[in-house]
Chain A
Amino acid sequence: MRVTIWGCRGSVPTPGPRTVRYGGNTSCVEVALDDGSVLVLDAGTGIRGLGDELTKRGTRHIRLLLTHLHLDHLEGLRFFAPLWDDDVTLEVWGPPSPTQSLRDRVGRCFSPPLFPVDLGHVPARVSFHDVPRTEWRLDGALLRADLVVHPGPTVGFRIETADASLGYLPDHEPALAGAIAGRSTDWLSGAAVAANVDLLLHDSQYFEHEYVERIGWGHSSVVDAVTYARAVDARQLILFHHEPYHGDESLEELEESARTLGADAAAPPVLAREGMVVDLA
């Protein structure tokens, strides 16, 4: 399994000189499986660059897994080149809503006044699927999607193959449901997604002093991210969903803080960075 980060910024794209090292594109992660198939996690603005790459490779069948439909996880989809190719089949999986279909909710982005082209008129063959309530298989991977603590229907994903596992919880505030440390994992939001994974991409948007002013916004402090990774026995934590107001230097302070907090971890926590590639075997 090869994991490539195409966007790891939270909330809103942040281009500019302050964000060149870690990038300004919002959430998008490519997961290439050993059988050559591709899973795409979220459709933030990072998906635009990935789309160009998939077009170059001639990839014709793509699975897109959406954790939720906040704009920073969806706004790149309209500019995803494969969507405008009638040879492409795109399966979109996302969290169910009690009131509206996934297609109708995504379709809002493809309607006036937000966008000139209706979702029904894009050339690619696009289908929409609510994530199942139990594990399911896509190509060579076993997938799991569980609802997690974040405003609105939001899931985290676990992708597992015979020799590697990835947990993806880009927007997650487990501390809102009680203290993380010492809690039995069956009561820990998203734990079945993240338990024992080789690699965990987890929300760490805030420093602690920022978090206390933003409790309930759906994101984690770096302290909570490290504590969570330890609680679920993740082997490697990558700090994800960077706060838009954090420039490169500020992010490196956050990483240093995580490394101090996670000094007992098998692998030290690291910042997600656009272009980062992690091979899991």
Chain B
Amino acid sequence: MAVARPKHLTLILAREFASSLATPMLIADERGVLVFYNDAVAEIVGRPFAETGEILLDGWMATFEPRALEPDPTGDERRPTQIAFQDRRAAHRRFRVISIDGVERQVALTAFPLFAHADEFVGIVAIFWRE
């Protein structure tokens, strides 16, 4: 039995943290693959993670047609998850999204990178704040 792509310990601990939170939280790995979201995210998106499975985060986010509630003052139209992944810095923005059940919801999204060491990027965490 070989372990296919074992998760970094940081992600394992982040998942356990997310599992014990009522705050919606998702985790993507260093490749930008969504590897976990908790039940509170499932409530927002209308589907448990077990049904979604591991999938590229960017494409998955796009399916919810996120529309920013206000323009970014710097003109950066990327989603916080994209900024956290590409620029490896924290970002925050408010959106309207349409979940799988067709319900439109207003959420704020905070995303930040995870570094196991200064030069070892292992993924990102994103937290949704229901508004």
Complex contacts, B7 vs chain A, CB 8 Å: 186-187
Interface members, chain B 1-60 (any A CB < 8 Å):
1-10, 12-13, 15-16, 19
State which size class the interface on A falls in: 20 to 34
- The answer to whether B118 has its CB under 8 Å from any CB of chain A is yes
The residue of chain A having its C-beta at the shortest distance from the C-beta of B4 within the complex is: A186
CB of A129 closer than 8 Å to a CB of B: no
In the complex, how many residues of chain B place their beta carbon closer than 8 angstroms to a beta carbon of chain A?
A: 19
Which partner residue on chain A sits nearest B54 by CB separation? A186
What does DSSP make chain A's interface, helix, strand, loop or mixed?
Answer: loop
A98 at the B interface (CB under 8 A): yes
Given the known inter-chain contacts A147-B8, A187-B12, A189-B9, please indicate yes or no for A196 contacting B1, CB distance below 8 A. yes
Do residues A185 and B116 form an inter-chain contact, with CB atoms below 8 A?
A: no
Chain B nearest CB, measured from A68 CB (Å): 13
Query: Which positions 214-250 of chain A face chain B at CB distance < 8 Å?
Result: 232-233
Q: Are A185 and B1 in contact (CB under 8 A)?
A: yes
A133 contacts across to B, CB distance below 8 A: 120
A231's nearest neighbour on chain B, judged by CB, is: B1
Q: Which residue of A lies closest to B116 (CB)?
A: A147
CA distance A167 to B16 in the complex (A): 24
Tell me, rounded to whole Å, the shortest Cβ–Cβ distance linking B119 to chain A.
Answer: 10
Q: A149-B9, A177-B13, A178-B19 are in contact. Are A96 and B3 (CB under 8 A)?
A: no
Q: Which B residues fall within an 8 A CB radius of A?
A: 1-10, 12-13, 15-16, 19, 116-118, 120
Closest 6 CB pairs of A and B: A192-B6, A147-B9, A192-B3, A177-B16, A185-B3, A196-B1
Q: List 6 A-B contacts (CB under 8 A).
A: A96-B117, A149-B9, A177-B16, A186-B5, A187-B7, A192-B6
Residues of A within 8 A of B (CB): 96, 98, 133, 146-149, 176-178, 185-189, 191-192, 195-196, 232-233
Sample of 15 more A-B contacts, CB < 8 Å, known A147-B8, A186-B3: A146-B9, A147-B9, A147-B116, A148-B9, A149-B9, A177-B15, A178-B15, A178-B16, A178-B19, A187-B12, A189-B12, A192-B3, A195-B3, A196-B2, A232-B1
